[in-house]
Structure formats: C-alpha cells, structure tokens
Amino acid sequence: MLNFCTLFNTGYLAKGLALYDSLIKECPAFRLYIFAFDEKTHLVLTGKKLAFATIISPAEFENEQLLAVKKDRSVGEYCWTCTSSTIKYCIQKFDIDHCTYLDADMYFYNDPGILIKEMGDNSVLITPHNYHPRYEQSAVAGIYCVQFITFKNNEEGLKALNWWVDACIKWCYARYEDGKMGDQKYLDAWPYMFSGVYICRNTGAGWAPWNALSYTLETANGRMTADGQPLIFYHFHDLKYLSGNSWYLGGYEMPGNIIDNIYKPYLQVLLTINDSLKKDYPGTDGLNAIDIKNIGDLKLKFKLGLYVLDLKRSFVQFFSDLFFSSRRKYYRNNYIHLD
C-alpha cells in the first residue's frame, strides 16, 4: 500500500477532494493522510468519512517548535514550514515504511506507484520543475519542486527528512534570501548532501504551467501522453476561481490542447465537488472565489517580494528576472470562462 500526505485549508478544499478522488481512480491501494489547516476543513473532511483517508487537525501534530514560529509567518509560509513536519509525523505516528507528500492542487491521470517503483532502493525521491526555457527560474524557485516527494523510513531517508524539518523551522519565507526560497530551494543540494536521493526522470510526472509548452499532448488507449510517455500527474499551480465562473490559469502561456483536455475537465470536477460541498455544508466555499480585478495586485505583490526586494543577487540574474517578469505580465489575463 502507498502512503501519501497532503495539507490544505478551506480555500483548497475542492482541490484536495479532487486529489483524493483521482487517487481512488488511479491508485490500487493507498492511504492519504490529510492535515486539515482550519476548523471548517476538519469538520467537512471528518463528516465525509473518506474511506481511504485519515484526517489530522493542527492540534494533533503541531509541536512546540512549529507553534514557536507560527506567529511570525504568513499562512502560506507556515504551510510550507509544516510540509516536512507532516511527513515526519506520518512516518512516526503511524509507523509506515514510507510517505509521499502531495500538493493539494495536483490531479493523477495514472498510477503514482509507477514513480515510487522507479526509485528502487533509493530512500528519497524528488521531482524537477523541468522548466520550459521561456520560464526558467531555477535560480530563484529551485531546480526541484515540492509537489511529489517521497521519504522512506530508513536511516538515509530520515537523515534527509530531519535535516529538512530543522531547516524549515529555522527559515521558511516567501522570498529569495541567501540561496533559500520557502521550503523548496533546500532541495537543490540534496543530491550532493545525502546518499540515496533519486531524481525522478519520468516525463509523465510534474506537468505544470511552467513546462506545459514543452509537451505535445496526445491520446493513446484512453490515456494522455507526450512523446509516448503517459501523463501521471498535473500540477495546477496558481489556478484561481474568479467571480462569474471564470478561472485564472496563472501567469504562463498555455497550449490550447492542454487547456481543452486537462484544464477544462479538471475545472468541471472542481465545480461539481464545490456544488456538493455547498449543498451538504451550507456556507462552505471550497474554491475561495476571488474578484478578477485583484489578480494584477496578487502577481505584483509576488514579484515585489521575490525580485525587487532581493538586493543581494547579481546584476546579471536581476536583469534576467526582469525580462522573465515582463514576459509573465503578458499573460496576466490568462483566464477562461466555463459556460
């Protein structure tokens, strides 16, 4: 049986339930440990009695170290801080032989066990961003993405995991500073710091907005493929539900066939789940709809924190990022409306 964990609050409730449903469809045997990051999420998830999930409240897993830094970090930063600790909690609390962290805004189109099998006797699995050249940002956001990351319950796996837990307690913020960025840039050094770190090379893993231009989507035997490799999961990063049943797809150019074949079906799944949530739990919005006029402000705040305030970076990198940022601006209105 495969063991996964994820964490989210009400704003990601529909996406988290979609992730769970995709695992039911694609994974023969699994347990998903869900860390509910607010009261409403915990209430809804426990009420739904998900057969293959274990629901965990912050009160159950937050320790003194986490609570000590919680007040000094934003909601997002605290979630990043907790990622490594949730994996450690699952391994220790439930005495499982491995645990794979999943971002809640992912959706599986094939068995994730394929990836875990490929890591063989290695103890840690990490997945690269695989940026399209137009959106290369490894210097800031990291070579690897904290989206699908596996640790085995052995000496090598726990050594890397414990180091990550301690590092995130000490520093985990939504800005680039001294080679760090959130919980993610830490991963860049792992292949050199620890033995048994496996870098996933399966091109069906980690499709995302930042690499969508790299793939020519095809369908074979009912499965979506690129270059003959089946799609295993897509990471719907920065996807936002807007007022008026419109959706913001993020600040990246998106091929039309990926919008039609991946995004639109996924959006319908989210809407169906959210309609059910509203019916069963009045007053619940599992998509956290935002006003379309605020999108520019959100992207601007991100760029100010990530680029402008980072005065320690080299001029070459700084101007490279300015160019990258200007390319991103063109796609600020990258949104669609579902009839």
**pLDDT-based confidence at residue 237 (cuts at 50, 70, 90):** very high
Q: What is the pLDDT of residue 293?
A: 59
Q: What percent of the chain has pLDDT over 90?
A: 76
pTM higher than 0.85 for the full model? yes
pLDDT at 134 over 50: yes
**Mean pLDDT taken over the chain:** 88
Arithmetic mean of pLDDT, 202-214:
94
DSSP string, 57-93: -HHHH--HHHHHHHTTS-HHHHHHHHHHHHHHHHHHH
pLDDT 10s digits, 141-177: 999 999 999 999 999 999 999 999 999 999 999 999 9
pLDDT score recorded for residue 294: 57
The answer, yes or no, to whether residue 299 has pLDDT greater than 60, is no
What does the alpha-carbon distance between residue 163 and residue 150 come to, in Å, rounded to a whole number? 15
Better-scored residue on pLDDT, 226 or 87: 87
Rounded CA-CA distance 88/77 in Å is: 18
- Give CA angle at 147 (87, 320), nearest 5°: 130
Question: Was domain 2-280 assigned CATH 3.90.550.10?
Answer: yes
Place of tokens 């032989």: 97
pLDDT of residue 243 exceeding 90: no
**How much is the average pLDDT of 299-326?**
39
Per the model's pLDDT, the better-predicted residue between 315 and 83 turns out to be 83
291 falls in which pLDDT band (50, 70, 90)? Answer: low
Binning the chain into helix, strand and coil, the percentages to the nearest 5 are 45, 20, 35
Residue entry with tokens 């063991």: 3
Q: What is the dihedral of CA 2, 13, 66, 64, to 10 degrees?
A: -90
pLDDT for 320 = 40
| The predicted structure's pLDDT at residue 115 | 97
Q: What residue spans of 240-314 are helical by DSSP H?
A: 256-258, 264-280, 295-303
Task: Judge whether residue 305 has pLDDT over 70.
Answer: no
Q: Which two tokens stand for residue 108?
A: 């599986």
Confidence of residue 219 (pLDDT cuts 50, 70, 90): confident
Could you report the per-residue pLDDT of 25-62, keeping only the tens digit for each? 999 999 999 999 999 999 999 999 999 999 999 999 99
